[in-house]
Amino acid sequence: MLLLRIFGIVFPVFAIVAVGYLYGRWRKPDLTAANQLNMTVLLPALLFHVLSGRNFNLAEYGPLAAAAAAVVLGSGLLAWPVARLAGIAPKTFVPPMMFTNSGNMGLPLAVFAFGERALPVAVVLFIVENGLHFTLGTWMMDRRAHWLNILKQPIVVATLAGIAFSLTGGSVPKPVGAAIELLGQASIPLLLFSLGARLTSVDLRLWRAGALGAVVCPATGVLIVLLVRPFLDLTPLQANLLLVFGALPPAVLNYLVAEQYRQEPGKVASIVMLGNLGAFVSIPIALAFALD
C-alpha cells in the first residue's frame, strides 16, 4: 500500500529529527563542534565519495542541475512579492524559500525512497542548492563578500575534487576510498539529529512569518518544478527526485546565516522550524506523486 510505503520512508527521517529535538530539550547540548565536524569533514567525505565514484557520469546530470538551479532561483522570484505584501523584509523571508533542506532531509529521503541508486541524483541537487547558498546567498546578505572565502569551504573543495576525479577517470586506492565512504556515511544521521536539536531554540511568538513560509516554500518549489520539468530531458528517477526537492522545507543553514549577518535571526528561526514541521504534510504528498 502506497501510504504504508510513504510512512516507512518518512518515519526514519522524522524519527531521528524527533530524537534530536527531544535530546536538545533534555540536555541542551552545544552541537557547534559536531556541526562543524559534519560541515568540514563528514559531509565533504560523502560528496567526494559519490562524485568520484566510477558510476557517476557528470554529463548525465546537466539538465538536472539546470532544473535544480531554476527551482532555487524561481522560488526566490515568487517569494519576493509575497514578502513585500506580508510586510516581511525580503532578506529575511526570501533566502529560506530558496535554500532548502537538500542535505539534512533531501539526502536521507532520496535513499529511503529510491535506494542507493538515487544518491548521486540527490547529491547533484544538494550541490546546486548548497553552491547557490554559499555564493548567491552570501552575496544577498553581504554584497562585499569575497569569492575566495567561498572557494575555501571544505564542501566546495570536496565537490571540485570529486568532479575532477570523475572527469579524469582517476581512482582512489581502495583502503582510502573505504575510509572516506565510512566517514561520509556518518554525515546523514548527524545532519538529521542536529536539525532536531537546532529546532529547540525557536521563538514561537514569531509564528506568523513561520506559518507563511511553511506554505510558500513547498508551493513555490513544486510550482517551478512543474513549469520546468516538461522542457528538460530528465530520467524518471531524476524527475521524481526533483519533485521531492521542490517540496523540501527551509534549510537550518538559513538561521545560521541570518544570525551571522544579524538579519532577524529569530524570525528566520521561526520560518525554518514551522517550515520543517510543515514538511510532515508536504513531503508525504510529494512522495505520493513521485512514487505513484
Dump the DSSP string for 171-225. Answer: ---HHHHHHHHHHHHTHHHHHHHHHHHHGGG--GGGHHHHHHHHHHHHHHHHHHH
**What tens digit of pLDDT does each residue of 223-272 get?**
999 999 999 999 999 999 999 999 999 987 787 678 777 788 778 878 98
Predicted local distance difference test score (pLDDT) of residue 286:
94
Distance of alpha carbon 185 from alpha carbon 7, whole angstroms: 23
Predicted local distance difference test score (pLDDT) of residue 199:
75
pLDDT tier at 155, thresholds 50, 70, 90: confident
Predicted local distance difference test score (pLDDT) of residue 107:
87
249: nearest Cα among 206, 192, 208, 190: 192
Average pLDDT over residues 176-186: 92
Distance of alpha carbon 139 from alpha carbon 166, whole angstroms: 29
More confident residue, 43 or 90: 90
19-33, 156-170, 213-227, 251-265: lowest mean pLDDT where? 251-265
Average pLDDT, the chain: 87
* Grid cell locating 108: 536521507
What CA–CA distances, in Å, run from 87 to 81, 258, 262, 290?
Answer: 10, 18, 18, 35
> What is the percent of the chain with per-residue pLDDT over 90, rounded to a whole number?
40
- Which residues span the domain enclosing 224? 2-290
Measured distance between the N- and C-terminal CA atoms of the chain, rounded to whole angstroms: 11
Distance of alpha carbon 257 from alpha carbon 95, whole angstroms: 10
Q: Are 54 and 65 in contact (CB under 8 A)?
A: no
Residue type, 130: N
Q: Which residues pair with 100 in a beta bridge?
A: 250
Predicted local distance difference test score (pLDDT) of residue 23:
96
> What is the percent of the chain with per-residue pLDDT over 70, rounded to a whole number?
96
272: nearest Cα among 224, 202, 193, 208: 202
Q: Could you tell me the CATH number of the domain that includes residue 200?
A: 1.20.1530.20
> Domain tally for the chain?
1
* Grid cell locating 225: 518544478
Vertex 287 angle, CA 283 and 292, to 5°: 160
* Grid cell locating 222: 513544486
Instruction: Evaluate if residue 216 carries a pLDDT over 90.
Output: yes
Instruction: Evaluate if residue 127 carries a pLDDT over 90.
Output: no
